[in-house]
Amino acid sequence: MVNRGRSAACHTCKERRVKCDAARPECGPCKRLNLQCGGYKTRPISLKFKDLTPKFFATKSTGSAASPSVQSCSSSSELEQAPPVLTLPNPYPLSDPNNAVPFFLGHYARMGRDLSSARGFYEMLVPVYQFEDHNSALSLAVLALASGVQQLWKTGSQGFSSSQPFYVQAVARLRLALKDEGERGRSTTVLAVLALQMYENLAAMYGLHAPTPVHHNGAANLLALSDAESGGGVVIGYVRRFVFHLKVSSALRQKIPVQHEGMHLMRSMRASFAPDNPSAELDIIGVDVAQLQATFSQAKVEEQFSLSWPETRAQCLEEANRIDERLIAWARGVPLQWHPTRLTSGQDMDASIPTYDNKCDVYPSCQIASIWNLWRAQRLILVKAALISLNAGINDVSTASFPERLMALIEEFEAHKSRLQGLVDAVCHSVPFHIGNRTAASSISDFTNPAILLPSHHSCALQSKTGSSSL
């Protein structure tokens, strides 16, 4: 690929290799597809020539390494000590049958993601992957995952098995990497293991085989090999954050405390070069939410056998209120642009989009919406524990002997009920943002279907400029 100089297109259209109308501040193609327009500000050019063929096709001569492309960083080891830049080579259009990896990296790893809301895997995948040889464990793992994802979009679960040969190749190459002491502790090896775990999760989700955490546990063990004091660099720091997020999410689902290895990851995260962000802070609060949920669930199961149940119940109520105050403080501290915008059906958005109570909340990205809903899920766990404790307390109090105490408990119970309803409403208001006016499972053709409408911040910005209420 030859860089022929400046172009009038925005950076997003340049990367997508599509025609741009150069409208400012956001171009027409980006608005139409609800993409984040990359703008027109001149960026420093760090390369002139770049051969991308080995990234997506196996060379005929086996065993030969791909020629290194001219980059601003010469290897992934340099990336370990510097904040990565999310750039993505995408040489193929969506209609090309060989575009599985660009399709996956473009629509899963890059679109709608930002380091300020990073959980750590997808955001690191693109900048690390672009330095990898096409026969590396990471490249083969990404190829397997990307092929599986694309087949799910094209043909459904029946086509997923066609990616199995790539998965077998990736596992074989990974085994060789794990035998090499130099490769074993590299961030690329950990990312390869996590990519294979995602492949396994997809297979389990579509009923192809039972779920297994083998790759996830392997990634957690590999992270322990990295230098805890230095943090292992930027990439390892973000990957630790991602694995820690998985540990917290798993503990919340299973109603168990975060296990020892998860706590070790939390401590090592603080020593890493990856800067804190709201998502990481929420996961740290989630450790206490998981602990309270596990304690309360166990105490409730044993209440009929335990004389200390009333005391435990009171302690859980106090702890739930304390953690909820931390979650409320978290919401006050997130960036202002993270807060959702409320739209009214038929007035601010197209009436063909089903809404909850005639309203819809839109967010800057699906990733940020997901973080908000995780925040609500944590608060719902606390509210549930509080309501059970308060209800039991109300039943224990004698109306004649302690009327003031009873009224205080009832008032607090009603306040928590109102809080629960507000959290459930907020989750429901986020649903139209994710599904728009779709009424069936999506397919690959929906990416260019103009009949599909999705409410977004882009439409809000367009309305503020034009005064139009239609999408």
DSSP string, 297-317: HHHHHTGGG-TTHHHHHHHHH
pLDDT at 207: 72
pLDDT at 430: 96
pTM of the model: 0.74
Joined together, the tokens standing for residue 36 give 């984040």
- Angle separating helix axes 233-254 and 366-396, nearest 10 degrees: 40
pLDDT for res 421? 96
Tokens describing residue 244: 């820690």
The predicted-structure confidence for 56-72, as pLDDT tens digits, reads as follows 443 333 333 333 332 33
- Our measurement of the distance from residue 248's CA atom to the centroid of its chain's CA atoms, rounded to an integer in Å, reads 14
The parts of the chain modelled with pLDDT lower than 50 are 1-5, 44-97, 227-231, 304-305, 461-471
SS3 content of the chain, % helix, strand, coil (to 5): 60, 5, 35
What domains can you pick out in the chain, each with its CATH number? Answer: 1-50 (4.10.240.10), 76-275 (no CATH), 278-471 (no CATH)
The maximal CA–CA distance of the chain, rounded, in angstroms, is 90
pLDDT at position 340 is 94
Helix extents (H) in 85-186 = 100-104, 122-129, 137-155, 164-179, 181-184
Beta strands (DSSP E) in 206-345 are 341-344
Minimal CA–CA distance to 232: which of 280, 300, 283, 185? 185
Rounded Cα gap, residues 318 and 322, in angstroms: 6
